[in-house]
Structure 1
């Protein structure tokens, strides 16, 4: 089952991660570029200051090892002429490629073996003199990386907060559907014929479509019932005529043929009766008024006592008062009528009926104290879709109608022999398919 909330959260997380990655890359590139641009500009200013200072000195002073340079502790200077060279940090610069820097004027980036980073400005002052200004950027770049990590952590924290807020917004939005869900449950229980109009613009077309579908299904169900009823009733008269002709003694038929015709006519009557019962099964698509399960079962029990007066039937009825049948009362009466009639026909006198339909399924258990059923017959009964012969002896009478109803409601049916004595039928129907 797909959760829209989870789908939206996953997509938002993917989009957010992509945006964070893009933002992090852009920020890193922008910060590094801006910092290097500022440092290079500062280095150029420092080079211009050094060139101005050199212009104010005499040639003799430029060759002196005691040359008075601007006091900038963050910069290292190196000067080279045709006759001499000088640097403010000779020990450090002895390990660096000064010759390459002197030969390639401009600004260079350099990182030594100790992971120290530098910016180098190389300029030609006169035809006979060159100088280099070096600025170390290790600490500044480390601080920049540190701030970048803080920024990334802040973005991740903001994303987590946004995710929580989005989840809350999604849940609050979907909570608007709770009334619709309750109304659908009431519709399924038969408390309402249609769904009321929704004030949510996105849901209103769906509600209208469901109501139209309910109307269409109800209309088609009624047409199907009427068609089957009309055909069945139309067939009854010809069958009655055939039976009457077969029973006439001077019809010219042999007794054997006459007996076969009467038997086939009775079979046709049984088929018509069975199909009329099936046509009355409404299923989940049809809803009617809510009804009392207790009253319906008690009325069926009283009727069976009148039908089988010689058995002195005793009914042990246990019904959860919160139970409700997920469909039409006619279907319930057909289901329970066949189960209880089958038990009454084959019991010795005691029948138990247990019904519980409060949680996620509607369960019916009908037990009797009769002779039970053979293992072979039970295997035939449990095969879904099998058409049982309603004239066969045993627990087959009416159970094909029961199976039709159970299949119509997408439920399950189980036939078993009781441990002590008798036969048991368990029917389970889902209360909701949502």
Structure 2
């Protein structure tokens, strides 16, 4: 199944996070508000009981005396939703507010003297919140117990909660939608550089651009740099293929012409063998050039010392009859991002050439200086007759013979593909030095 785009995944992930956040926030706000509203109602009912107690008096015979108009006007308004009652010790109602006229209310709870009782009960298809308080009233040395009860219709309380709930979810919903719209705009703006990279890649595929050239944020610079490196490497590889094929065709012309001209000569067989070997070297070299990998983006680093040690072991066997000494100066921790095959080709050719001319000793040194790998091969042979000419490509491969620089030409091609520099020089006191420097990738 094809995965969703990054923008869709980010948008829906953000939408889910926003939904969960606002739902949790909404439930938390609503619960807190309901608790606050319920506590406020409880305090208000308690204050109504205190007002009722302050307005209540008993005559000498113990009968209740209440004013015709109470401090709370809702007690005087029929069906106002707020009702008050007073009960005697036997639980009989001895007084109720005018607002209770003709209305049946739930039976109150019976707390002990000096204690409060709260309840929620239903009657006549309505829910009521009640609060009761029992006092001991002293009259003429006698004590009389009275129960003061206040009950309120839940309808107004529920309507207030419903109004708050509607406003809360409306505001939270509007805020969530606005946040998602802003988030969608931010995502589009934030991912715009990726869309520009995609557009430039399409232009490169269409041949309208050679490489990615736009200005991009720091997070995308490694990506665009690596893409440009891959594009450059591919162009270099294609150019190497074309150059190798062109050089191969041109280099084979001379051996073929020689074979055509000496067909009738007596030593034709010897000349044929000589030119076939020559063509074999030319073909091997040109194929090697074409197969050179060169710089590779995201190449895995390899340790240099083990590769050089294996090559030196092989050279000791190849040149063992001459008693040559091979020495290595390379830190074990030194690493390089060169392709291992290219590294074998470079070091192998340099060591083989040095082994052909050295008298007794060959030294290989490797180091890392100024963000570049430096590799040098020193020998104690006769040196180069003309170092300046030797480090140039001077002699064509169709004119060279074994031992006259074919290996050095191979090394030069590979080093050039990595953006490096190859140099040759004669050493003071005798011998030659071939060194190369390849910048870090």
Q: Please give the range of the TM-score, normalised by the shorter of the 2 chains.
A: 0.3 to 0.5
Q: Which has the higher strand share?
A: 2
Q: Which has the larger radius of gyration?
A: 2
Q: Which has the higher helix share?
A: 1
What TM-score, normalized to structure 1?
0.47
What TM-score, normalized to structure 2?
0.46
